[in-house]
Amino acid sequence: MSKSNNTPLSVVVDNGDEQSGAVEPIDLDNSAYYENRELSYLEFNQRVLEQARNTNHPLLERLVFLLIFSSNLDEFFEIRVSGLKKQMGFGRQRPGPDGKYPDQVLKTIHGQVKTVLEEQYRILNEDLFPSLAAENIRFLARHEWNEDLINWTQEYFREQVLPVISPLGLDPAHPFPRLVNKSLNFILSLEGKDAFGRESGLAIVPAPRALPRLIKIPRDIMPEGDNFIFLSSVIHAYVEEFFPGMNVTECHQFRVTRNSDLEMSNVEVEDVASALQGELHSRRFGAATKLEVGKGCPVELTDFLLERFDLTEDELFVLDGPVNLQRLFAVMSMVERPELRFPKFSAGLPRALEENSDIFASVEKEDQLLLHPYESFIPIIDWVRQAARDPAVVSIKQTLYRTNESSELVEALAEAARNGKEVTVVIELRARFDEEENIAFASILQEAGAVVVYGVMGYKTHAKMLLMVRRSGNKLKRYAHLGTGNYHLKNSKLYTDYSLLTADPTMCSDVHKVFQQITGMGKKIHPKFIIHAPFKLRKALMKMIDTEAQAALAGNEARIVAKINSLTDPAIIKALYMASQAGVKIDLIVRGICCLKPGIEGVSDNIRVVSVIGRFLEHSRVYYFHNNTHQVYCASADWMERNLSHRIEVCFPILKKKLANRIMEEMEMHLEDECQSWELQPDGVYRQLNQSGEECVGVQQRLLTKLGQA
């Protein structure tokens, strides 16, 4: 942190009493001032679940929030919980900044998750399912099947299910099978002997992933409304047909969640793509982290499963309903009930970037700023398409962290390569859960003639950059797109992100330097405008925070506003605490994890933290420093250790005052919101600002009205 011309902030906090002088320094390394990262994430996910209870949301959207909660929780166990378990297994337990050891955190996680899962299924069974049934969308349990439905399900089982399932009796010749991560399975108790005289007593029935977990009942069987049954119900109803002549005394569904964090050593890896493909298979069979069983499964069977998966009682979760809730997402494409969904909207399109316009000319005239999803992502795709077909364009460089299936951008880049452009694409193969797709995209681009690189070993390329070089007379001119989100069309309709399209020579030169550093080799670079990680971003942030602190100490206005996904970096948190002590007003819009504790007397009195949860996933990263040369920055980086130390990230200033002012207006809209916001309290608990539950207009709807086309 810059020492500037003042003593360090930790010893100059003045309580305003001339008699007392300087107060005793506060130990900002004290663990009491830091929230645990994993527990903060669980707080965020509970805010997501709370949306399933919110009757101001359309009914089917409430179901979506409930399923997103499940998806988030699965990934949390696959990555974060497995990481904690690994630390314990290696005997490398160390406390985090919050002072908690991994075993303490795991114990708290397991207790909290059991409670919140109970609440999730209560919401599903007592609220959402009855409300959906009132709207003629029914999920029928077996006791609700009439005679026609029983006959139909029996036929469905024999024609669609029985031929593809392989039941597994357990005996010395048939040991417990390796079951795929998050797959639906059944454990059975059997009585009697089979044709070979075997009498093991136990069997496993795995449900193949090819079978739909949710089955829509034909109209000729149930003509009224939309009616569904679960595959688990069908298997359970006719499971004895797998074991003719034997008696099934118990049948219970279960699902195991496994460690899915891929690990590749930097040592002796000659081909990242090949090494990664080898790791992808192992992900399906990683160490178990969570066992879920249906309610009613007897202790002897759950104990048997826990032993087989090497799990403890704490890691067992008993669910009052289907164990694979995420498969319920399928219902969204199986019913046509627009009145039960969020109203459709058309993303706005600035006049300068309208269809068939010359985007190069528009960007050359002035910088263009878009806020997705309120404004369309299509101009970025159209720009690459124009470049692919423009004879004056000589080269295109782009980073791809995540992109969508059958990506339009990949097609445009491949077309550009086939048309003789110099196309270089930095594909991050290790983008979690998109690895396989990214490998396929890399192959498509290479076959088209593009140069594909996989970034830098040990550092994920998380920066979002596009650079195009175009001939103008005898000169070459650069154009760039910089964003806070991914080049993913589907996500751009769900995630809020900023896009900057610019022809500023210095900014574009900086982008060129960053690309040269990623694709080639050389010494550190020194961009003029762009601040990039892992080299300078943390230092720059610390310096800008310090500048605000020194301004406040001098009696001048000082303010920091940041909109990020997560805040975990201890050094940044400590700097913010010191700035707060100096009198800087700090407003943080942190969607997810926040390890900083606001409102602590003498430490963070001047810090406010809010989290906005709504229809769209708040994803944009924006930083504002009142006394900095450039006040507003957009970035690909959150304020986390991994982003600042172990990823290639870019942070870029918004040079045009008009655009910077617009971003700040939109940030203030988030800070003023009392409809979709939750405020973090000093004890780490979030308080919903709209306590009344009355319908109100939130910031996302206001931005839709301002920027979108209703």
DSSP 596-615: B-TT-TTTTTTEEEEEE-SS
pLDDT, one tens digit per residue, over 63-91 is 999 999 999 999 999 989 998 998 887 77
534 prior amide bond cis, ω within 30: yes
3-class state of residue 370 by DSSP = strand
pLDDT higher than threshold 80 for residue 3 = no
- pLDDT band at residue 19 using 50, 70 and 90 as cut-offs: very low
Residue 236 in this model has a pLDDT that exceeds 70: yes
Mean pLDDT over each residue of the chain, to the nearest integer: 89
Walk me through the domains of the chain, giving residue ranges and CATH numbers: 37-340 (3.30.1840.10), 351-528 (3.30.870.10), 532-707 (3.30.870.10)
525, 514 Cβ separation under 8 angstroms: yes
What's the pLDDT score for residue 198?
Answer: 61
Q: Is the pLDDT of residue 179 over 70?
A: yes
Which residue has tokens 């210095």?
506
pLDDT tens per residue across span 284-329: 557 899 999 999 999 999 999 999 999 999 999 999 999 999 999 9
Q: Phi then psi for 624, rounded to 5 degrees?
A: -130, 130
Lowest average pLDDT, out of 104-113, 440-449, 633-642, 678-687, goes to 440-449
Measured CA angle at 578 (ends 576, 582), to 5 deg: 110
- Active site positions, annotated: 462
Q: How far apart are CA 183 and CA 510, in angstroms?
A: 47
Q: What is the dihedral of CA 519, 523, 524, 529, to 10 degrees?
A: -70
* pLDDT confidence of residue 270: 45
Query: Is the pTM higher than 0.85?
Result: yes
- Average pLDDT estimate for 469-475: 93
**pLDDT value of residue 685:** 92
Alpha helices in 284-407 (DSSP H): 299-308, 359-365, 378-389
The pLDDT assigned to 10 comes to 39
Which band of pLDDT confidence, cut at 50, 70 and 90, is reported for residue 22? very low
Rounded alpha-carbon distances, angstroms, from residue 315 to 114, 289, 381, 439: 9, 7, 45, 34
Q: Is the pLDDT score of 2 beyond 70?
A: no
Mean pLDDT comparison of 77-81, 179-183, 623-627, highest-scoring range: 623-627
pLDDT for the residue 26: 84
Average pLDDT estimate for 242-263: 87
Instruction: For residues 378-403, give the mean pLDDT.
Output: 93
Decide if pLDDT at 16 tops 70: no
User: Does residue 617 sit in helix, strand or coil?
Assistant: strand
pLDDT band at 268 (very low <50, low <70, confident <90, very high): very low
